[in-house]
C-alpha cells in the first residue's frame, strides 16, 4: 500500500534528518512513529479503564458493612479448611 503525502519540503527534510539520526529510512521512521503513537493511545485507554474500575471498587466498598463478629475474609476461608 502506498500513501502519497504532500508535505512542505522543510518538513520532509526535518523528519528525514531525524530518521537518518536514528539509522532508519524515512518510511521505517514514519511507521515506527505511528506504531508508537498507537501504543501510547492504548496505554492511556488501559489506564483510564483501570482508574474507572478502581473508582467503582471503592464506591462498592463504601457499602460493605463490617462483619458482626469481626471476622475478615481470610478468617472465613481458614475456618472452612479446619
**What are the domain boundaries of the chain?**
27-64
Per DSSP, the chain holds a count of helices (H) and strands (E) of 3, 0
pLDDT band at 8 (very low <50, low <70, confident <90, very high): confident
Task: Specify the pLDDT at position 39.
Answer: 64
Task: Specify the pLDDT at position 15.
Answer: 87
DSSP 3-state helix, strand, coil percentages of the chain (rounded to 5)? 70, 0, 30
Task: Specify the pLDDT at position 1.
Answer: 56
Q: Give the three cell numbers for residue 28.
A: 521505517
pLDDT digits (tens, 9 = 90+) for 13-71: 898 898 999 898 888 888 888 777 666 667 788 889 999 999 999 999 888 888 888 89
Amino acid at each position: 500500500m502506498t500513501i502519497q503525502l504532500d508535505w512542505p519540503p522543510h518538513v520532509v527534510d526535518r523528519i528525514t534528518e531525524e530518521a537518518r539520526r536514528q539509522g532508519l529510512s524515512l518510511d521505517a521512521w514514519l511507521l515506527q512513529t505511528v506504531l508508537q503513537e498507537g501504543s501510547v493511545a492504548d496505554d492511556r485507554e488501559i489506564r483510564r479503564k483501570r482508574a474507572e474500575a478502581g473508582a467503582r471498587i471503592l464506591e462498592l466498598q463504601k457499602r460493605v458493612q463490617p462483619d458482626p463478629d469481626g471476622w475478615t475474609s481470610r478468617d472465613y476461608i481458614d475456618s472452612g479448611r479446619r
